Amino acid sequence: MAEKSNIEWTDATWNPVRGCTKISPGCKHCYAETFAERFRGVAGHPYEQGFDPRLVPGKLHEPFKWATSRMVFVNSMSDLFHTYVPDEYIERVAKVMVTANWHTYQVLTKRADRLQQLLSRPLRFASEAKNVWWGVSVENKKHGLPRIDHLRKAPAQIRFLSVEPLLEDLGEIDLSGIHWVIVGGESGHGARLMKREWVA
Ligand code: SF4
């Protein structure tokens, strides 16, 4: 993935893991899957294996090469807390974020139960870092709201929500312990519509 990002709320992407599998309705039109599958079978391309999950240890130290401070979206092309990724590897990613601390890292997941579990123990050291923001995706009530509870229970200096693609009215949300919220609808072919009153 290019080191410069087109995502509005970040400067760069860093993908020490590539690929993922769908876990909830928010994944239906996953842009990362669409991008990766375009290159399946293209010899030598980073996405030669399409969207199949895999570790990319050669990318682990990439943030050290960026001398100036950046806002870094971690794993824009996967989910760091996917079951495929071993605890020890997630720990290595966290150590880079804590050590290359002139950057700010945004870690976004749909596997919030594992985020809570790991931040409470092996990743405790990273939960205390102010330059690492931990976030969950929230697309609906059934899958999204329990993720907010997991995130709130996880030790972290900065917690954020990515409420996109918003698929229904979430009603009143408890935002205690949450520091930053991004809200948006879906875009692209076949996008599911978001109603203005859902974000009122
Ligand atoms: S969790 Fe994220 S990266 Fe994985 S399939 Fe769903 S939308 Fe795509």
Task: Give 2-37 pLDDT, tens digit per residue.
Answer: 344 556 667 899 999 999 999 999 999 999 999 999
Packing angle of the helix pair 141-153, 112-120 (nearest 10 deg): 10
Write out residues in the chain with pLDDT < 50, as ranges: 1-4
Q: Could you tell which of 22, 77, 113, 143 is best to mutate to test the pocket of ligand 1, judged by most ligand atoms within 8 Å of the CB?
A: 22
Question: What CA–CA distances, in Å, run from 24 to 16, 51, 55, 100, 137?
Answer: 23, 17, 22, 33, 10
Ligand 1 contact via 178 beta carbon (within 6 Å):
no
Question: How close is the Cα of 16 to the center of ligand 1, in Å?
Answer: 15
Percent of the chain with pLDDT over 90: 84
**Closest residue to atom 4 of ligand 1, CA basis:** 20
Q: What residue owns the CA closest to ligand 1's atom 6?
A: 27
Distance 191 CA to ligand 1 centre (A): 16
Confidence (pLDDT) at 4: 46
Question: Does 182 sit in the ligand 1 pocket, CB within 6 Å?
Answer: no
pLDDT of residue 196: 77
Burial of 15 from C-beta contacts in 10 A (0-12 / 13-18 / 19+): buried
Q: What is the pTM of this model?
A: 0.93
pLDDT tens figures, 39-59: 999 999 999 999 999 999 999
Name the DSSP class of 149: H
- What residue type is assigned to position 76 of the chain? S
32 lines ligand 1 (CB under 6 A): yes
**Closest C-alpha among 116, 105, 109 to residue 152:** 116
Residue nearest to atom 7 of ligand 1 (CA): 27
Say yes or no: CB of residue 119 within 6 Å of ligand 1: no
For residue 73, give the 3-state DSSP assignment. Answer: strand
Which atom belonging to ligand 1 lies closest to the Cα atom of 22? 5
Q: What is the pLDDT of residue 7?
A: 63
Across 62-79, b (16+ Cβ under 10 Å) vs e yields bbeebeeebebbbbbbbb
* Cβ pair 47, 18 in contact under 8 A: yes
CB of 22 within 6 A of ligand 1: the answer is: yes
